[in-house]
Amino acid sequence: MMNLLVTFSLAILSVSTEDVPIDWPVNQPDYQLPIFLSARAGIACEETPIVWRNNNMTCPERAVCADVFLTPRELEDGSQCEEKRILHNCLCPGGSVCPFEKPSHFLYASALQRQYTCQNICRLPYCGNIRSMTPVAQTVVNEAINFGRRTYTRMDCRCSRHHVPFGTHRAVQTSPARNGIKKFVEYVCSRSENENMIPDPCEI
């Protein structure tokens, strides 16, 4: 039996690769990003098959081991259901499957995307406790030697929105940076809120 739950109306935006989720391959073309706009009642769709990626290699330290996307789908009768899609990025140390069903292991990338780590999220440092003007919250590690020259997302610290999503906003935003003549992008907590003024949710 399908369970009743709250889902969201769906709008589709065409966005550039600058705006895609931070763990999306940087060489992907523009794609359709679903944005939640308003809440409405619906039912849960059946789960789609898990997508296993990166040949089930062992996750590097603090890697995002799985991404879970919740997407509203239109049914034949005009009602909507919420489809869950799971991307399994890597295995946790010891060969265990990423704990994508445990609340203590997930962070909100946004209202429609959850990211999971092998360790309890409260073991990750809180960005608001780091004495830096703009501590880097997440890093996309390209051609990682400890991950078979593949790309993965590393959690460097937790933003407050990783615990409680805010509307359609993502937990992190891009910030241009430079290392000598080389330009690159950092992923920092949203500047629309003062992270240093918000207590660590893991300590409340």
Cα 51 to Cα 66: distance, rounded to the nearest angstrom: 10
Q: pLDDT value at position 179? A: 77
Beta strand segments in the chain, E: 4-15, 31-44, 51-52, 64-74, 80-88, 106-110, 113-117, 136-144, 150-155, 172-179, 182-189
The amino acid occupying position 117 is: T
CATH number at residue 186: 2.20.20.160
β-bridge mates for residue 6, sequence order: 41
**Which DSSP state fits 107?**
E
How far, in Å, are 91, 133, 165, 184, 202 from residue 180 at the CA level?
36, 20, 35, 11, 37
Q: Determine the Cα–Cα distance for residues 98 and 65; give it in Å rounded to an integer.
A: 6
Residue type, 139: T
The pLDDT, as a whole number, for residue 165 is: 85
Enclosing domain of residue 79: 4-23+32-40+48-203
How many domains is the chain partitioned into structurally?
Answer: 1
**pLDDT score of 24:** 41
Residue 202, helix vs strand vs coil: helix
pTM of this prediction? Answer: 0.73
Which residues, other chains included, contact 111 with Cβ-Cβ below 8 Å and sequence gap of 6+? 8, 36, 165, 167, 168
What gap in Å lies between CA 64 and CA 66, rounded to an integer?
A: 6
What integer pLDDT is reported at residue 143 of this predicted model? 92
User: pLDDT by residue for the chain (204 residues), tens digit each?
Assistant: 444 443 333 333 333 333 334 444 333 333 333 333 333 344 668 778 999 999 999 999 999 999 999 888 888 888 888 899 999 999 999 999 999 999 999 999 999 999 999 999 999 999 988 776 678 999 999 999 999 999 999 999 999 999 988 777 889 988 888 777 777 788 998 766 565 578 899 997
